Amino acid sequence: MAEFNIDKEENFSEWFDEILKKAELVDKRYPVKGFVAHRPNAEYIEDKIQEMLEHKLKETGHRKARFPNAIPESILQKEADHIEGFEPEVFWITKGGKKDLPERLGLTPTSETVMYTMYSKWITSYRDLPYKIYQRCPVWRHETKHTRPLLRDREFEWIESHDAFKTREEAEEQVEEDIEIAQQVITEKLGVPFHYFKRPEWDKFSGAVHTFGADAFMPDGRFLQIPSTHLLGKNFSKAFNVTYEDRDGEEKQVWQTCFGPAVGRIFAAYIATHGDEKGLRLTWETAPTQAVIVPILHGENKEIEQTAKEVKKTLEDKNIRVELDDSEATPGEKFNHWEMMGAPIRIEIGENEVEEEKLTIKRRDTGEREEIDKKELEQYIEEIPEKIRKELRKQAQEKFKGNIENAETVKEVKEIVEQGKIARANWCSIDKDGKKCADILTSETAGAKVRGTIHHKEEEAKGKCIVCGEEAKEVVYIGKEY
């Protein structure tokens, strides 16, 4: 394989398309727009991400369930604001075989309506609460924007947790727990930094009281929402009659939340955050191949071959996902291939290593070579996963911190966004009153949008709104999005 060598910062779009192809992740040649085939490497990594998320959900008391993916139109219509927000994106099933269906069925764009139809039957008493369920499922949205594999698909897999409580306080605590889960998995485990924004009123989830979105920042200067969490209040419980009998015998509506980590988008942010001009860089936990052994041969050498097999056996005994590359490719071709695939370590074994009973190890995260005694391999393998995770996270966070610049005018916002950065500015309000200013901003900056205020970061607005000149109440962050 030839060296990749596309500058991610200068030409992210080409870099991303090529890495999906050359690392054998996603193939967009499937003949339906917005639908792509996920190859085994991608599926392996995505499964690992899902396992991490599911582990945290189960750890916090969620139980896994599964719901149908076909929703009768009459059920979708029960929550008017919700369906109005999603109707342009719904795929409709109108026939069963050759016969017209008596009612159109929507392919699930998101699962509130189908799940709460059943919650109204399953939740009857205060003893049933809190009620915390999640499912792992595909959803379908007829995206009208330019589709991009992983970044904006028309079919994607995600995890949805939908929770019900007796009080608003409990629901708000769940929102905080969702945000913590995202932080623990996406940043701590995968090393992908993000901002968790409280979305403006005009950009919240249809039917929600408040929406909070986790935005990663891509190398081309665009935000990518990865998970989002929503305080739904009682909007859906009223529409779907999700009620319980309290201790005093009174029937009450539940308070609800939902949390949606989009696994494909998290995967895209993971690739974009850590990948470089040589290909993928992966954490130990997610890598399909954790270690690759490359014998450096100049003709036949039984000692090198035997040592390589011994090292492979040692790693296999430690349950390491290891490959011994004894193909006919040159060492350079092998190096390029496994760097593209993101194997966290490469173990090189040549004549010097055999003679001195040492191993040369090349780390993918730092690019550094290390020489260790062969007998130290097991200890090295025990320590390296955490070192790699910390290093990738550190590199990503250092880069992420330098992306924000203050703007005092709409013109400055446009200049900052065109430089591929995030604009921070004073704003009149993220309630409905601020929408007029948001529309003007988007028009005058060629598509930049107010992403919201950073959750749990108290920032005092000083001065005037950059659009209308009224006294500012908020400090907002502005950028383009996928």
Whether 279 is in a domain gets the answer no
Could you give the 3-state DSSP secondary structure of residue 110? coil
- Residues 341, 418 share a domain: no
Between the CA atoms of 92, 94, 96 and 101, what dihedral angle is there, to the nearest 10 degrees?
Answer: 130
Could you give the 3-state DSSP secondary structure of residue 346? strand
Whether 304 is in a domain gets the answer yes
Q: Where are the beta strands (DSSP E) in 151-303?
A: 155-165, 195-198, 210-217, 222-233, 243-245, 251-253, 255-259, 291-295
pLDDT at 458: 85
- 80 pLDDT higher than 80: no
Amino acid at 106: G
The beta-carbon contacts of 54-61 under 8 Å, at least 24 apart in sequence, are 54/134, 54/136, 54/159, 56/181, 56/184, 56/185, 57/134, 57/159, 57/161, 57/181, 60/132, 60/177, 60/181, 61/130, 61/132
Amino acid at 407: A
- Residues 266, 196 share a domain: yes
- Residues 432, 297 share a domain: no
**CA 240 – CA 122 distance, rounded (Å):** 12
**CA 41 – CA 262 distance, rounded (Å):** 18
- What is the total count of domains within the chain? 3
- Residues 327, 268 share a domain: no
For CA atoms 451, 465, 405, 146, the dihedral sign is positive
* Residue 231 structural domain: 12-274
Q: Which of 197, 200, 193 is nearest to 213 (CA)?
A: 197
What's the half-sphere exposure (Cβ side, CA atoms, 13 Å) at 33? 6
Q: 388, 283 in Cβ contact below 8 A?
A: yes
**CA 269 – CA 219 distance, rounded (Å):** 10
Domain of residue 339, CATH code: 3.40.50.800
- Residues 308, 171 share a domain: no
Amino acid at 355: E
Token couple for 251:
């029937």
- Residues 466, 351 share a domain: no
pLDDT at 61: 98
- 145 pLDDT higher than 80: no
Task: Tell me whether strands 99-107 and 358-363 are parallel, antiparallel or unpaired.
Answer: unpaired
Whether 326 is in a domain gets the answer yes
Q: 141, 229 in Cβ contact below 8 A?
A: no
Tally of CB atoms within 10 A around 252 = 15
Q: Which of 69, 14, 268 is nearest to 153 (CA)?
A: 268
Q: Where are the alpha helices (DSSP H) in 63-140?
A: 73-76, 80-86, 112-122
- 2 pLDDT higher than 60: no
- Residues 379, 435 share a domain: no
pLDDT tens track for 233-269: 999 999 999 999 999 999 999 999 999 999 999 999 9
- Residues 369, 441 share a domain: no
Angle between helices 40-59 and 168-182 (to 10 degrees): 140
Token couple for 339:
């760097």
**Band of the pLDDT at 3, cuts 50, 70, 90?**
low
Amino acid at 112: E
Whether 70 is in a domain gets the answer yes
> How many angstroms from the chain centroid is the CA of residue 425?
26
Domain of residue 35, CATH code: 3.30.930.10
Whether 399 is in a domain gets the answer no
Domain of residue 432, CATH code: 3.30.110.30
- Residues 170, 259 share a domain: yes
- Domain endpoint, select from 274, 305, 326: 274
Q: Where are the beta strands (DSSP E) in 42-130?
A: 63-64, 70-72, 91-96, 99-107
Question: 456 exposed, middle or buried (CB, 10 Å; 0-12, 13-18, 19+)?
Answer: exposed
Token couple for 469:
């000149």
Token couple for 40:
């085994």
- Residues 86, 233 share a domain: yes
Token couple for 85:
């927000």
pTM of the full structure: 0.95
pLDDT tens track for 423-449: 999 999 999 999 999 999 999 999 999
- Residues 467, 337 share a domain: no
User: At which residue do the structure tokens 């074994």 appear?
Assistant: 349
Mean pLDDT of the chain: 95
- 1 pLDDT higher than 60: no
- 144 pLDDT higher than 90: no
H/E run at residue 49? helix 40-59
pLDDT tens track for 449-482: 999 999 988 899 989 999 999 999 999 999 999 9
pLDDT tens track for 81-109: 776 777 889 999 999 999 999 999 999 99
- 191 pLDDT higher than 90: yes
Tally of CB atoms within 10 A around 69 = 16
**CA 241 – CA 118 distance, rounded (Å):** 10
* 3-state percent breakdown (helix, strand, coil) of the chain, nearest 5: 40, 30, 35
Whether 133 is in a domain gets the answer yes
- Residues 379, 337 share a domain: yes
Whether 280 is in a domain gets the answer no
Whether 82 is in a domain gets the answer yes
